[in-house]
Structure 1
Amino acid sequence: MRTMRTRNYGYWFILPGMVIYGLFFLFPVLISFPFSFTRWTLTDWYFTGLDNFRMFFSEPSLRIGFTNTLLYAVLTSGLKTVLGFFFAAYLVGRPLGSGFLQSIIFFPSLVSTVAVGVTFSSLMHPTFGIINKALAFVGIPGPDWLGDPHLALLSVSLVDVWRGVGMATVIYIAGIRSIPRSYYEAAMIDGATSGQRLLSITLPLSRPAMNTVILLSFIGGLRTFDLVWTMTRGGPGFSSDLIASIIYKQYQSGFYGLSTAGNVILFIFIALLAVPLNRLLSKAEVTL
């Protein structure tokens, strides 16, 4: 009896987290599937079959939303993957001040997304924003970062990269530090330069960390809502609308069943992209 209690002792520590996770995440996810086939309010519901899904796919801005979501996810995950790797490679090889620089790079990840969106909306203001004032000081006319349909999504994407590259860098640092130093010592004896060591040792052996960064940032880009909504609300027009912002607009209008169906579609869409991507990345990993 004492052995059984000792064996199960650790589960009592994770039980509160499991209860919270099941109550506030797992249960809403599971119940959203049957509710996506209904038209519901807080007090009533009735079955509508596939009507919600037909209405969602007939949304005029849906094609723009899918396109923008893919572009946003690919752009943000690509930049985080590349910049995070080079930041990490630089910081790991820097003996002095690396901890301070890591803190600076990681700090934006700790700030609320809404606070970041509000701050950069002010910084990117076409007339009063600091960014355009700085450009004007050197004689460059600043664009309307969030008001130009051709720049709005790109501007939000760059802010997302600024906020998330710190997390990518930390993941890379953990992966690079797990590489045995003997590999680098052998390469130095053979006369390999720092660039050759970076490309021949660090890059291939940090693939597990790189795959984690790619997968997490890509999924995060596909489900992004708060930063886009805070900075542009999907505008101007539908130029920066993502699938998540389209779903929220439907929820705002009181179409709860329709927005629930949209969330189910978004979940399936992410799964159809993320699962094959994970398998593809796993096959390309290099093991030590």
Structure 2
Amino acid sequence: MNRKRIYPAWFLLPAMSVFLVFFIIPMAVSFFFSMTVWDFSGFTFCGLDNFALFFSERSLSHSVVNTMIYAIGTSGLKVILAFFIAVFLTSGIRTKNLIRSIVFFPNLVSTVAVGMAFKALMHPTKGLFNQIIAFFGGHGPDWLGNVDMALYSVILTDVWKGVSVATVIYIAGIVSIDKNYYEAAAIDGANGWQKLKNITIPLCRPAMNSVIILSFIGGLRSFDLIWSMTGGGPGFASDVLASVVYKQYAAGFYGLSTAGNVIMLILIGLLAFPLQKFLLSKEVE
């Protein structure tokens, strides 16, 4: 009996070994070095000083606020926009396959390439966006140079690129809904809005939950688009945790940057797991 119980456990060994080597050990090492001042020649233990410095220095601590704004803004817009796009693309329109391909196109382009393209489009004087506004007699803003607009300009760009994946997930969820529900609702005299509210949204909740979790976690750890568009600027206006960590590494403050990585890990864990549990509790059985 004992041999029969032990035998299946051996199948876990490869996966557990990979998990230990590539996740548990690096995480433990990161926690240790986040409490040191280190370089490639040695380290000095400093306790929680790196974390205290991170939250006392406004240019660093403000990145946590920006990260939350970025994650909530991008995930919220993707969840709403992608849902209505998916509803439209699962309707009876003839060109829905062509439109689906067009909608998915932004996801095929490199994030850095998207960032560079939108950086050019948002140029205050030569950018296409402001030239269009000027053509109609308006005066376009400094999309990426204004401290109050830079982060939100990147958020809109992120939504343009990421809404395609969310739309595909929604389409899969909507297509999987049994058509008999809609037929029964039509017999009872339900209109389009009632079908959407009482059938599509509740039965599409698993897909919606996936979009929320994936887009929210992606927003918390976003780096490449922000870095290619603003570099965290102007000043520190659009810095998020990932860009601050990169800057500290580049400046040689390895212990401080490692502390930033640990903060990001804790933040994602504290927010993602309760959110996932809450969303799963709301799914239709």
TM-score calculated relative to the size of structure 2: 0.89
Within a 5 Å distance, the mapping from 1:56-67 to structure 2 comes to 56-67=54-65
C-alpha separation between the residues in 1 aligned to 2:97 and 2:187? Answer: 29
Q: Does residue 186 of the first structure (1) align with residue 196 of the second (2)?
A: no
Tell me what 2:214 maps to.
216
Q: Does residue 282 of the first structure (1) align with residue 277 of the second (2)?
A: no
Q: Which amino acid aligns with 1:256?
A: Y
Match of 2:47 among 49, 59, 65: 49
C-alpha separation between the residues in 1 aligned to 2:83 and 2:137? Answer: 34
C-alpha separation between the residues in 2 aligned to 1:144 and 1:20? Answer: 48
Q: Which amino acid aligns with 1:255?
A: F
- Per-residue CA shift, 1:191-246, capped at 9, x if unaligned? 21222211111011111111111111111111111111111112112221212222
Q: What are the ranges of 5 or more consecutive residues in structure 2 without an aligned counterpart?
A: 1-6
C-alpha separation between the residues in 2 aligned to 1:282 and 1:116? Answer: 33
Q: Does residue 37 of the first structure (1) align with residue 35 of the second (2)?
A: yes
- The alignment partner of 1:39 has SS state of strand
Q: Which amino acid aligns with 1:53?
A: F
Q: Which amino acid aligns with 1:152?
A: A
Query: Against the structure 1 CA distance between its residues 62 and 25, is the aligned structure 2 distance closer, same or farther, given a 3 Å change threshold?
Result: same
C-alpha separation between the residues in 2 aligned to 1:28 and 1:97? Answer: 49
C-alpha separation between the residues in 2 aligned to 1:22 and 1:81? Answer: 34
Q: Is the 8 A contact 2:54 2:61 kept in 1?
A: no
User: What's the CA shift for 1:24?
Assistant: 6.0
Q: Which amino acid aligns with 2:183?
A: E
Match of 1:155 among 153, 156, 165: 153
Q: Which moved more, 1:101-110 or 1:207-216?
A: 101-110
- The alignment partner of 1:61 has SS state of helix
Tell me what 1:118 maps to.
116
TM-score calculated relative to the size of structure 1: 0.88
Identity %: 57
C-alpha separation between the residues in 2 aligned to 1:104 and 1:28? Answer: 41
- The alignment partner of 2:37 has SS state of strand
- Per-residue CA shift, 1:68-124, capped at 9, x if unaligned? 111111111110000010011111113522222112111212221111111100010
Structure 1 segments, 4+ long, off by >4 Å, are 17-27
Within a 5 Å distance, the mapping from 1:15-30 to structure 2 comes to 28-30=26-28
Count of residues in correspondence between the two structures? 277
C-alpha separation between the residues in 2 aligned to 1:92 and 1:143? Answer: 37
User: What's the CA shift for 1:44?
Assistant: 2.6
Tell me what 1:204 maps to.
202
Within a 5 Å distance, the mapping from 1:85-164 to structure 2 comes to 85-164=83-162
Q: Which amino acid aligns with 2:169?
A: I
Match of 1:76 among 67, 74, 77: 74
User: What's the CA shift for 1:18?
Assistant: 9.1
Query: Against the structure 1 CA distance between its residues 261 and 212, is the aligned structure 2 distance closer, same or farther, given a 3 Å change threshold?
Result: same
- Per-residue CA shift, 1:121-149, capped at 9, x if unaligned? 00100111111111111222111100111
- The alignment partner of 2:58 has SS state of coil
Query: Against the structure 1 CA distance between its residues 130 and 64, is the aligned structure 2 distance closer, same or farther, given a 3 Å change threshold?
Result: same
Q: Which amino acid aligns with 1:64?
A: H
Q: Which amino acid aligns with 2:128?
A: I
Q: Which amino acid aligns with 1:274?
A: A
C-alpha separation between the residues in 1 aligned to 2:176 and 2:165? Answer: 17
Q: Which moved more, 1:191-200 or 1:119-128?
A: 191-200
Q: Which amino acid aligns with 1:241?
A: D
C-alpha separation between the residues in 2 aligned to 1:44 and 1:285? Answer: 51
